[in-house]
């Protein structure tokens, strides 16, 4: 069994926030792959489904971001899961919007949701890092992550969610490269192909019509009429 955790804050007030992109990813997976209805458990909302023979439990903690580890720890203990069985989907300031990276283990980089999970599980769990970009200054981070995605973000965000959903079976099977390929096929199909668009033909100015009596090349024609006639058949 796998436990996939999406990080975010509960309630309609936060639903569209950048900080809630982890919730969004799990909701898309559940909807596209026929997972069961969301129900309350482990201080959060859970939905269950399968990819082939692999059972996957989706968890959206309702403890608020800074206490996410409470819900994750409770679910892990109940199902007797190790950190290797757990993958956390979370927002990542250090990646450009629409970019995604897989990571196994490592530090929390100041992310409060990961910090809480570290306290309950240690650092060996997997992560799907979902790029949201950085506001440019650390003092602006809190307002930035707790603000809704802009309308201009809608296209890349939808592509990213589609790619995550497409790649979910590969992720469940432990095929990280297959998961990343599925995401890249959605978010960067043109760039991945390496193909260049054909160049438009260059228009060239038409040559001016030579004046009557001019020889080829534009010089004065001193040929006899017979020579001119013969030149037409060369």
Q: Which residues are catalytic?
A: 19
The residues near 214 (Cβ < 8 Å, ≥ 6 apart) are 220, 221
Strand partners, 48: 57
- Spatial CA neighbour of 20 closest among 149, 109, 140: 149
CA–centroid distance for 180 within its chain: 9
Phi, psi of 81 (to 5 degrees): -95, 150
Measured between alpha carbons, how far is 91 from 111 in angstroms, rounded to an integer? 9
């Amino acid at each position: 069994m796998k436990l996939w955790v999406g990080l975010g804050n509960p309630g309609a007030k936060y639903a569209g926030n950048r900080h809630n992109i982890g919730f969004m990813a799990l909701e898309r997976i559940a909807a596209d792959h026929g997972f069961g209805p969301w129900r309350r458990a482990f201080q959060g909302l859970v939905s269950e489904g399968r990819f082939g023979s692999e059972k996957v439990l989706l968890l959206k903690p309702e403890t608020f971001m800074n206490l996410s580890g409470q819900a994750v720890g409770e679910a892990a203990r109940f199902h007797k899961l190790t950190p290797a069985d757990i993958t956390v989907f979370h927002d990542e300031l250090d990646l450009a919007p629409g970019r995604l990276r897989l990571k196994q283990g490592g530090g929390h980089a100041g992310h409060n949701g990961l910090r809480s999970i570290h306290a309950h599980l240690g650092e060996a769990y997997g992560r799907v890092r979902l790029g949201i970009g950085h506001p440019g200054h650390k003092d602006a981070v809190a307002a930035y992550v707790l603000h809704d995605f802009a309308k201009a973000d809608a296209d890349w965000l939808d592509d990213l969610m589609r790619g995550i959903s497409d790649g979910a079976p590969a992720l469940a099977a432990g095929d990280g490269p297959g998961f990343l390929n599925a995401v890249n096929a959605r978010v960067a199909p043109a760039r991945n192909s390496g193909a260049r668009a054909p160049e438009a033909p260059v228009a060239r100015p038409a040559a001016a019509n030579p004046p009557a009596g001019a020889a080829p090349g534009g010089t004065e024609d001193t040929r006899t009429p017979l020579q001119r006639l013969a030149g037409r058949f060369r």
